[in-house]
Chain A
Amino acid sequence: AQSVAQPEDQVNVAEGNPLTVKCTYSVSGNPYLFWYVQYPNRGLQFLLKYITGDNLVKGSYGFEAEFNKSQTSFHLKKPSALVSDSALYFCAVRDTTNAGKSTFGDGTTLTVKP
């Protein structure tokens, strides 16, 4: 079985400050990890993914994420937040043994205040 936890329903940061959105996972094999962003009444947009290799993954819009195998975490980060980053963020995991099915976290609402 595979699962994802996003421990924070809401994250608030001031514009220009660094942001972190947390994600932990559980899989039986090796994980493939993804971050997506959703704006109101829209579909999800892909931000970045980890497959293998370098633990620090860089993605769209200045976002990056750090894979930590020992802590089973894949936290999303950005050095300097923008008001336009305010949205709902989803972490997803796919087990290498689980053909094509991803499990999504419950989402974290990020609010960046000017």
Chain B
Amino acid sequence: DGGITQSPKYLFRKEGQNVTLSCEQNLNHDAMYWYRQDPGQGLRLIYYSQIVNDFQKGDIAEGYSVSREKKESFPLTVTSAQKNPTAFYLCASRMGGGSVTEAFFGQGTRLTVV
């Protein structure tokens, strides 16, 4: 089945620790996105990538980093510089290339600082 897979589903981080969230898609999509979801605040864009080996900061990139070495993979690292990382993280992909297509979302990773 084609789709977008996020792992793990739940993740616990200690203070001062970096953690990496995985996002893999087999839809052959060019564009990939990371969003953060907090209660009552909707989705906020962290980083996005429209093509392999290129990515741009979104609205709340501070304390996060990404890489896009392969078309199907777009991992997100939450660094110790992110002071309030507890949230639900959503990865999405889209066909890209100027097409007006909808985004496909993964099932999310819930990150909790302990």
Indicate whether B66 reaches chain A with its CB closer than 8 angstroms.
no
Question: What per-residue 1/0 map shows which CB atoms of A63-104 lie under 8 Å from chain B?
Answer: 000000000000000000000000000100010000111101
**In the complex, A34 Cα to B92 Cα: how many Å?**
14
Total inter-chain residue pairs, C-beta < 8 Å: 55
Contact A106 B103 (CB under 8 A): no
- Given A42-B107, A44-B90, are A100 and B31 also a contact pair (CB < 8 Å)? yes
- In the complex, A41 Cα to B94 Cα: how many Å? 21
- Whether A114 is near chain B, meaning CB under 8 Å from some CB there, is no
Query: What is the total number of residues of chain A having a CB less than 8 Å from a CB of chain B?
Result: 22
Q: Known contacts being A9-B40, A51-B100, is A43 close to B48, with CB within 8 Å?
A: no
Tell me if B108 and A106 are in contact (CB < 8 A): no
Interface residues on B, range: 20 to 34
B58 → A minimal CB distance (Å) = 8
Bitwise interface map of B from 80 to 114 toward A, beta carbon under 8 Å scored 1, else 0: 00000000101010101010101111111010000
Which residues of B come within 8 Å of A, CB atoms?
Answer: 4, 6, 31, 35, 40-43, 45, 48, 50, 58, 88, 90, 92, 94, 96, 98, 100, 102-108, 110
> Residues of A at under 8 Å CB distance from B?
9, 32, 34, 36, 41-46, 49, 51, 90, 94, 99-102, 104-107
- 6 A-B pairs besides A90-B42, A106-B41 with CB distance below 8 A are A36-B102, A43-B4, A46-B102, A90-B43, A101-B48, A104-B42
